[in-house]
Structure 1
Amino acid sequence: MAVFTRKRLLSAVAVAVASVALLAGCSNDPLAEQYREGSNKNYISGTGVVKEIALENRGEAIAFEAKDFAGETVSSEDFRGEVLVVNFWYASCAPCRAEAPTLEAVNKQFAGQGASLLGVNVRDQVDTARAFEETYGVTYSSVADINDGSMQQAFGNEVPPNAVPTTLVLDQEGRVAARILGQIKDESILRTLVRDTIAEAE
């Protein structure tokens, strides 16, 4: 297990600061603004720490099956052979709102390029979740995990209780290759994690 390298994190700090400033300037979302101001109201979240897992230290492939908000079955087998980014979220989570544009940007960049995104909603009913997706322009699918928590169970200790958002990068075999615990603070970090994991197959 290796923490995201100091050199790469330092190189992203300036971009992260600029990105947060830009989002703060264009947002009219009170919860997202509240989060960016550091008031820590209404949610419990991780700190955004990034963990990469070396090939030889990765566990078993994650197996899951759940229904998306259109009622269609989505399973881990649908994504075998490509990198999968899995993001755990819910609509009233301030950091989830703050990172939504980042996730959608990465989704668009890697669509058809060896990676997909999948959201896992841990709290909301269909109408609330769809309203969030429309508000933030989210085009990738999410599955509902509000009844039996099967998705959280499938990922075991990789998604600690109350640590929402959490974003996982799964390799082409379905194993967890990286984790971001808390809001994705810098788009370039997630881009790099996805790009590096795609490159492993090459």
Structure 2
Amino acid sequence: MGSYYSLLGVEPDASPETIVAAYKQQRERYDPARVADLDSELRAKAVERSVALEQAFAILADPERRRQYDASLLDNGDVLDGVAPRKKQGLTARERTYALVGTVLALLLVAAIWVVTGRDDSGVAGQPMPQMDRVAPAFTLESLQGESISLADFQGQVVLLNFWGTWCEPCKREIPALERAHRQYRDQGLVIIGVNLTHNERAQGRDQTTIAAFLDQFNVTYVNVLDTQGEVTNAYRIFPLPTSFFVDDTGHIRYVHIGELTFADIEARFLELNAQVQP
């Protein structure tokens, strides 16, 4: 698909405002509602492009990530904004890092396409999700109310971490399912923590007031925290949005889901993991 710039249809020196506008335009083209009637192959390609767009925007909307990405293009021998490519002397450390990240993203992309194209519309048992068993990166972030929230505070409970942004359409669509699950299962031990990519919000001119108004609009009552520096986003390797992690009572990530969640998805994973909670 070329570079992230070509994917969005902008020049390498495009302003943040131009990148935001281009992202919105491209994202609308591949909206799930517009491709729902296509055959499975075309639908899969649309999903692939949507995931790639989210990845590109997550990088280009963040000044530091964009700087690192631009540097990687130069290292790879691409011409960027009139700058001659560097002579290659074997793989650099940055190239090795980007290659590793690219491999991980490719695997996540395959998982995302598999999940969406193989989805059972009945949703009785939720969508299939890639399984894993690794320790969830620890973090402490502030909520919109100024309260410090640590993942470690919820050891012994099932936690759903949901990474989102106000610009993300699938994030908006899944909020009712998240809120319903919170209200129905909070007394049984389910903890839902929304992690807002506040560093990306700021790059687009939004602040905490805007984020709070967004959540109020959807009557959200589950906890939301602000990743103002992007450190938690980086620790969890978030690129497409939304991305959700189901963390068990021992603090291990058991499932990861890229894309929109349904209530059935949340319910199925929670009931499964909650049944394994040690008294």
- Fold match by TM threshold 0.5: yes
Which residue identity does 2:224 align to in structure 1? S
Match of 2:251 among 162, 171, 174: 174
State the Cα distance separating 1:51 from its structure 2 match. Answer: 2.5
Does 1:62 find its partner at 2:144?
no
Two-structure CA RMSD over aligned residues (Å): 2.5
User: 1:143 is paired with a residue of what secondary structure?
Assistant: strand
Q: Which has the larger radius of gyration?
A: 2
Equivalent residue runs for 1:186-197 within 5 Å: 186-197=262-273
The residue that corresponds to 2:234 in the other structure is: 153
**Matches for 1:1-202 after TM superposition, within 5 Å:** 35-38=31-34, 44=54, 47=112, 49=115, 50-53=128-131, 58-122=133-197, 123-124=200-201, 125-145=207-227, 147-155=228-236, 157=237, 159=238, 161=239, 163-184=240-261, 186-201=262-277
Q: CA deviation at 1:153?
A: 2.8
Native 8 Å contact 2:157 2:277 kept in 1: no
Code of the residue aligned with 1:189 in structure 2: it is D
Q: CA separation in 2, counterparts of 1:62 and 1:110? A: 24
8 Å Cα contact 2:161/2:244 also seen in 1: yes
Unaligned runs of 5+ in 2: 1-26, 36-45, 56-108, 116-127, 202-206
Higher relative contact order (CA 8 A, sep 6+): 1
Q: Which moved more, 1:59-68 or 1:112-121?
A: 59-68
Amino acid at match of 2:273: T
Asked whether the equivalents of residues 171 and 260 of structure 2 are also in contact (C-alpha less than 8 Å), the reply is yes
What code does the residue aligned with 1:191 have? E
Q: Distance in 1 between matches of 2:219 and 2:252?
A: 28
Unaligned stretches of 5+ residues in structure 1: 1-30
Compute the displacement of 1:44 (Å): 2.2
The answer to which structure has the higher helix fraction is: 2
Q: Work out the CA distance in 2 between the residues paired with 1:150 and 1:194.
A: 27
Q: Which has the higher strand share?
A: 1
Q: Deviations over 1:43-74 (max 9, x none)?
A: 62774734243xxx511243111111112111
How many percent identity over aligned positions? 27
Whether the aligned pair in 2 keeps the contact of 1:69 and 1:143 (CA below 8 Å) is: yes
Aligned residue type for 1:131: A
Q: Tell me which residue corresponds to 1:14.
A: none
Aligned length: 161
| SS at structure 2 position matched to 1:104 | helix
